[in-house]
Amino acid sequence: MVDPKNPGAVDEIVHLGDHWNEEGLVANKKEILAINKEVSRLFKRAYSYLGTAKVFLDEVKSYYRDTGALDVGTLDKKVLELTHRIFENKPRQTDSPRERHLFGTAITPKGTESHLDTIIKDMDKRYIIYGDDGTGKTTLVRRLTETALMRGYDIEAYHCALDPSLIDHLVIPGLGVAVINAVEPHYYPKQKEDISIDTMDFVNKSIDKKYLFEKNKARELYRVSMDQAIWFISQAKQKHDEMEKYYVPYMDFNAINSRREQIFQRILKLASQGAA
């Protein structure tokens, strides 16, 4: 849920309650409240398992950091190499670069879904980063994001659905460049013209092997927790669908469609004013 920060001045609240028959809904108040309560319970359980999944994923990452298996110096060199390759001899785009923060992946009742293909398919150059969690993929993406902004380029930063504080993917429209973190749940198959980077090349294999059993166990528990979270989300969706039968007969969908078209036309008008 997103609350308006500047209602009226910038944000506008669209209240679909203007188009329902309140008497019909009140008649089913008891059923609606009961289903809402169950939906809330199911989502609470889902969030608990998502939290647990993040704990185990962080544990996977910790094995590379805490054991010294990750060669940070080599990672730094790769960041510098990519910086030169992407930005060298490129003119500054603007002194006021814009950054858009978005999601390309979601955790849904059907499981994790990714739309990376629609986001980066038209990019001229795609850098695909492979490797285990904790081997520097998000660090690499974050540093290139910071560099793009410092050099005056507008960027699109696509955040992790499980941990929104992390940037998984970077798109620089002005250069036609995309940097993709290709790890579950957003695998991306490398195309012939793509450039691949494997962060496992920065890992000391002997140290990694020593802790492989523990790391794999943490990965297994992460996946179990994710599966359980998705199951609870799917159950919440089923309950929510059940609740719709109490709303649908009492909604004025003709009025809602008319409202939608009005809003759409206003958006188009605002977009044209912004482009002018």
10 Å Cβ neighbour count for 16? 12
For residue 87 the two structure tokens come to 């930005």
DSSP 1: -
State the 10-residue block means of pLDDT for the chain, 276 residues long: 80 88 90 95 97 96 92 94 94 94 94 90 92 93 96 96 94 96 80 90 93 95 97 96 92 94 92 73
What is the predicted pLDDT for the residue at 276?
A: 53
For residue 131 the two structure tokens come to 């490797």
Cα(132)–Cα(166) distance, rounded to whole angstroms?
Answer: 15
Is the CB of residue 202 less than 8 Å from the CB of residue 70? Answer: yes
Contacts of 161 (CB under 8 A, 6+ apart): 103, 105, 106, 107, 112, 185
What is the predicted pLDDT for the residue at 234?
A: 97
For residue 20 the two structure tokens come to 């329902």
Is the CB of residue 25 less than 8 Å from the CB of residue 246? Answer: yes
Cα(34)–Cα(211) distance, rounded to whole angstroms?
Answer: 48
What is the predicted pLDDT for the residue at 255?
A: 94
Cβ-count burial of 191 within 10 angstroms (0-12 exposed, 13-18 middle, 19+ buried)?
A: exposed
Residue 268 to residues 101, 195, 263: CA-CA distances in angstroms?
22, 37, 9
For 110, phi then psi, to 5°, come to: -95, 0
pTM (two decimals): 0.85
Domain locations in the chain as residue ranges:
28-59+210-275, 70-202
For residue 239 the two structure tokens come to 């309950």
What is the predicted pLDDT for the residue at 8?
A: 79
Nearest to 16 by CA among 262, 269, 260: 260
Cα(130)–Cα(199) distance, rounded to whole angstroms?
Answer: 6
What is the predicted pLDDT for the residue at 189?
A: 76
Cα(93)–Cα(128) distance, rounded to whole angstroms?
Answer: 24
What is the predicted pLDDT for the residue at 275?
A: 59
